Amino acid sequence: MTRPTNTGTQAVDRAAHLVATVVRADDPLTFSALEQECRLPKSTTSRLLSALERAELLERDEAGSYVAGPLFWLYSARHDPWEHLVRLARPTLRAVGAATGEAVHLAVARGDRVVQVAQVDSKYLLGSRDWTNVDVPSHCSALGKVLLAYGAVGLAGGPLEQTTPHTITDRDRLRRDLAQVTRRGWASTVDELEIGLTAVAVPVHGRDGEVVAALGISGPGQRLKERHEEIGQLLIDRAGQLSSLLRRRTRMEDVA
């Protein structure tokens, strides 16, 4: 009897297993981790990973670990742009969380609303709550002030909601506050959304310079009251890196 040849099918199965392992992982995977997880010989792993990179199904991050490739981002961008943004922003959120220890947030404009689409929790027991998908008035959150200041959302008509005694409800005062946001590059709130809560946020820019999201942190005022400038600059630097990544991805999608 002759043994059936399944080399082609076996190669596809192994490659698919590598892709699935990377996509399902919470963090980027090193070559060694993939080799062990998929139980493949080193030479086979190397050959298949090279082929998957050429096909844009996988790619390596700055540290050399493997993440989902451009084809996955292209699909996400065309079918769920916010999910695309969140996936690209995750490493940035984690980096800001590691540097500050505070809760880190990413928000976008949906119509006239500001919606938080991702969060990395604080490392402290006393930290910020989970604000994902919570409807918050834009004028009393740092994320909202960023999107207001750069015209990503418009200010609602009628009286502005006062969530605490410190909420800015005077429109002229709010306009002055928003003008300061664009001058210095970051927004802040102190006790304006909740008593005891401080937040700082900055804009994230798209390919043509438009503001597509806001990146920020929040936490107890006691920990943050002397750190606004420091955190603002940290966020500006990280948001700049994320903006550059978004511009590169958009160019790749145009070519595809």
Count the Cβ atoms, other than its own, within 10 Å of residue 29: 21
Helix axis angle for 70-79 and 81-100, nearest 10°, is 120
Lowest mean pLDDT of 30-39, 45-54, 61-70, name the range.
Answer: 61-70
Q: Residues 91-110: what's their mean pLDDT?
A: 94
Q: Residues 241-254: what's their mean pLDDT?
A: 73
Q: Residues 110-116: what's their mean pLDDT?
A: 82
The side-by-side arrangement of strands in the sheet containing 103-110 is 113-120, 103-110, 211-220, 197-205, 187-190
Lowest mean pLDDT of 71-75, 182-186, 223-227, name the range.
Answer: 71-75
Distance CA 178, CA 247 (A): 26
Question: How high is the mean pLDDT of the chain?
Answer: 87
DSSP string, the chain: -PPPP-HHHHHHHHHHHHHHHHHH-SS-B-HHHHHHHHT--HHHHHHHHHHHHHTTSEEE-TTS-EEE-HHHHHHHHHH-HHHHHHHHHHHHHHHHHHHH-SEEEEEEEETTEEEEEEEE--SSSS-----TT----GGGSHHHHHHHHTTSSPPPSSSPP-SSTT----HHHHHHHHHHHHHHS-EEEESSSSTTEEEEEEEEE-TTS-EEEEEEEEEEHHHHTT-HHHHHHHHHHHHHHHHHHHHHHHHHHHH-
pTM confidence score: 0.68
% of residues, the chain, pLDDT over 70:
88
| Domain ranges for the chain | 7-68, 76-255
Q: Residues 82-86: what's their mean pLDDT?
A: 79
For residue 187 the two structure tokens come to 């927004």
* Domain boundaries 7-68, CATH class: mainly alpha
pLDDT band at 250 (very low <50, low <70, confident <90, very high): low
Contact yes or no for 115/107 (Cβ under 8 A): yes
Distance CA 104, CA 141 (A): 13
Helix axis angle for 42-54 and 7-24, nearest 10°, is 80
* 254 closest CA partner among 74, 52, 80: 74
| Residue-wise pLDDT tens digits, 119-144 | 999 998 776 667 776 778 899 999 99
The alpha carbons of the chain give a radius of gyration, in whole angstroms, of 22
Contact yes or no for 89/213 (Cβ under 8 A): yes
Q: Residues 147-153: what's their mean pLDDT?
A: 95
Give the model's pLDDT for residue 77.
52
pLDDT band at 251 (very low <50, low <70, confident <90, very high): low
Distance CA 188, CA 198 (A): 7
The one-letter amino acid at 59: E
Contact yes or no for 64/30 (Cβ under 8 A): yes
| Residue-wise pLDDT tens digits, 175-194 | 999 999 999 999 999 999 99
In the CATH scheme, what is the code of domain 76-255?
A: 3.30.450.40
Indicate whether 98 pLDDT > 60. yes
pLDDT band at 212 (very low <50, low <70, confident <90, very high): very high
Give the model's pLDDT for residue 69.
86
Q: Residues 74-87: what's their mean pLDDT?
A: 68
